[in-house]
Amino acid sequence: MFDQEEAFGKALDLFWEKGYEATSLSDLTAHLNIGKGSFYDTFGSKKQLFDNCLSAYRMNAFEMLDSFIAEKPDPHEGVAYFIDKHTEMMFTDTISKGCFIANSTVELSDDSETQDFLREHYQIMKSKLVDYLNRGSFKNDVDTLAESILVHMTGISVLSKVNTDKSVFDKSNALFMQLVT
């Protein structure tokens, strides 16, 4: 029997690993072990499935950030924790997929619909961080600090795909925290 939730998870992994453009309909049907008719009946189109995968990933990112914030009420500790955990996640990924959001931002920079979605994601993440950072006192404007955290983490997401020396990122994270706290 066809398990739609399992197939969705497999599709997300495939898009995450290969990207939207490099993932063909044939790749998807083979990976999900379904025919084209079942694919279209279940997911609509490749683009619709991709958009749904990106939405699911985004919701997971929001939940993860909310979880980190709940674990660390002190924003000074929390920011370091959040950045370190993000770095750790990038390095426990054995096939170096990076971050699906960051990958999609780079790959689909000419797709206005996807870019609107990704800008909205960035704004929501920034807003959550600004609310959190306002609980502490920082030497920098919290709006700029939230943007800097997201830029730093996006850089980690992209560069960890090609640089496997985690110590470089650990040093960068430590310096980042010295500069912002």
CATH 1.20.1560.10 assigned to 51-180: no
pTM confidence score: 0.90
- Which DSSP category does 44 fall into? S
The answer to whether the beta carbons of residues 170 and 87 sit under 8 Å apart is yes
- Residue 1, pLDDT score: 58
Residues of the chain under the 70 pLDDT cut: 1-2
Look at residue 97 in the predicted model and tell me its pLDDT: 87
Closest-CA residue to 55 (of 13, 12, 2, 109): 12
**Which pLDDT tens digit goes with each residue over 110-147?**
999 999 999 999 999 999 999 999 999 888 899 999 99
Rounded Cα distance between 23 and 85, Å, is 29
